[in-house]
Amino acid sequence: MSTASSYSAKDITVLEGLEPVRRRPSMYIGGTDSKGLHHLVWEIVDNAVDEYLNGYATKITVVLHKSGQAITVSDNGRGIPVDLHPKFKKPALELILTTLHSGAKFGEGASYFHAGGLHGVGSSVVNALSLKLIATVRRDGHEWQQTFKRGKTSGTLQKVKPCRDHGTAIHFEPDPDIFRSTQFDADTIRHHLEDMAYIHSGLQVFFHIEATGEKLDLSHPGGLPEFLTQMVKEANKAPVTENHFHLSRDNNGKDEKIELALQWTESTEESIRSYVNGIRTSSGGTHENGFKSAIVKAIRNYIETHDIKTKGLSITAEDIREGLVGIVSVFCREPMFQGQTKERLNNPEMAGIVDSFLRPSLEAWLNANMQSADRIVGRIVLAARAREASRAAAQEVKRKSVSQRRLNLPGKLADCTATDLDDTELFIVEGDSAGGSAIEGRNRKTQAILPLRGKILNSEGMATSKALLNQELADLVSAIGTGIGDAFSLDRLRYGKIILLMDADQDGHHISTLLLTFFFRHMPGLLKAGRVYLAQPPLYRINVGKETHWARDDDHKEQILKSLRSNAKYDIQRFKGLGEMNPRVLGDTTLNPRNRTLLQVKIDSELSADQTFVTLLGKDASLRYHFIMNSAALADELDV
């Protein structure tokens, strides 16, 4: 060990050639683990892609050899030059593969306009870290070949045979002295090549796996829209809208090329992939920041322009991007990557370029597709409400958890015996009297009955933890079995249909509305899955001789009366409630699947539904006042 007194020029070590790469491989490939090993493949593939980007190649083939420890990457580009360099008096091929910072991607007269690698490092790094590398070049009417070992030439450049086609093939075997394991993973390579094929929709990409005999065509001419669809499908994320947003700009190589696609889903996760010159930037960067910023601005401008009410609700950028699946791909002349592994873009101008490109177009798309836009904004509003509800719930202390409440089913539940989800139904009934009639008139095998006492709690604007303090709502959650709020899981649903069975009068409609409010705010998964229904019990019984007609409301009663012959004598009975209805009659008219009518509850626009619940059931009475004043002229009669 040198001391301060003995420290002199002889202590200075100069690493020549590719020795710095072998001494400190992590500086160039990020590590010597599996990620670093596969980075060797990406470096060679990126060079082949650069030939495609600049119009010289159309096809790339990657072969994973039988041992799993050797790779060959070939393209049909121009082929690496093999003539002698005028200054260094070496074949250009040898110079490129044995010297750092050598290549055709420097200066104003560079041969590449768009390229993933601009530092002339990638191929020489692969050579330095390979036990063996064979470069085969087809150009100028001949096939040329040169071999290397651990970054140094092991043979001179050879003219092998005459050849008409053109291109480059790099075969390499990673050095086991450098890497923990030299075994390549076929799935990792396939996924990377597929991503690349989506980004470069005109490029043909082939992958051969010799060990299994597979020869895969990974080309994807559908490009980013196809990539977006695949990402949404693979993640099992339900789209909020059927259509997606796609935008591209390519000024024939004279400017930054940009392409992007995005779609909102019901997922609670944000998933964005960004690329620069075809290289995945897994840590994002300025282009991804511009992408995110533009989306947030466009949504906020749409909300403001259309005066969408979100009173008392603070919508964050994270709420707007929740569930978003997006891809942004940019091509620029001088990318400034963070490190040789190119995981992040640092060009400051790219944030503004992407923002100004995306924001006005996305705003125009939202205004031209207002039904889709309202669904997106509705989903964002629900995300904001869920976030605030979760925060309020976290502040609650010493509250009984949902799982504890589910330990025992409510005692007043008359359960069914069937266990097949598709065969079972839960009827939520108003009052013990109606519950008694429903229990007697039901099919005990498939139909369960849960009576509730009177009008339940209005849970609009209420934290989930507070709503569960209400015994009726807690019993309802226990009976359904899914849990609630963040603990909700449709996999735990105990009944295929949740049916609201209330009196056919205004009070019954009010209770149904309160229950729908509870489901919409605290168990929205039930509504999205189409599991909630409204029963249609009769309000009137009309006897005409031996015939009996059932009318569900006043309008239906008038229709039936008009359909009778003019001299018909009839008797009308109005039911005051389900409790006074004979169990057999209730069973035949409302419970029996062969005779009954059920209305499935669906949400066409989450935004409209949110605003309706806020207006009619929220704490701000002025919203109801304005609604009544504006709608009074449309009402034939009011039930006050």
User: Is 423 annotated in the active site?
Assistant: no
CA dihedral 631, 308, 605, 555 (to 10 degrees): 0
Selected catalytic residue, list 226, 388, 415, 507: 507
- Distance between CA 370 and CA 361 in Å, rounded? 14
User: Is 50 annotated in the active site?
Assistant: no
Q: Which residues pair with 450 in a beta bridge?
A: 428
For 174, the token pair is: 């990673």
Q: Which residues pair with 261 in a beta bridge?
A: 246, 327
Selected catalytic residue, list 430, 460, 472, 606: 430
Q: What residue ranges in 539-624 does DSSP mark as E strands?
A: 540-544, 547-551, 571-574, 598-600
Print the SS3 string covering 577-626: CHHHCCHHHHHHHHHCCCCCCEEECCCCCHHHHHHHHHHHHCCCHHHHHH
CB atoms within 10 A of CB 65: 16
Q: What number of CA atoms fall less than 13 Å from residue 410's CA on the CB side?
A: 20
Please report, as a single letter, which amino acid is at residue 213.
Answer: G
User: Is 503 annotated in the active site?
Assistant: yes
Selected catalytic residue, list 505, 553, 588, 620: 505
User: Is 507 annotated in the active site?
Assistant: yes
**Burial of 222: CB neighbours in 10 Å, binned 0-12, 13-18, 19+:** middle
Three-state DSSP state, 479? helix
Under 8 Å between Cβ of 276 and 331: yes
Selected catalytic residue, list 51, 94, 259, 503: 503
CA dihedral 150, 155, 161, 163 (to 10 degrees): 40
Question: How long is the chain?
Answer: 640
CB atoms within 10 A of CB 35: 12
- CA pseudo-torsion sign 405, 407, 410, 413: positive
**Burial of 417: CB neighbours in 10 Å, binned 0-12, 13-18, 19+:** exposed
Phi-psi region of 339 (alpha: psi -120 to 50; beta: other; left: phi over 0): left
Q: Which residues pair with 280 in a beta bridge?
A: 275
Helix axes of 34-53 and 186-199: crossing angle, nearest 10 degrees:
30
- Distance between CA 605 and CA 62 in Å, rounded? 48
- Distance between CA 294 and CA 290 in Å, rounded? 6
Helices (H), 172-270: 186-199, 223-234
- Catalytic positions are 430, 503, 505, 507
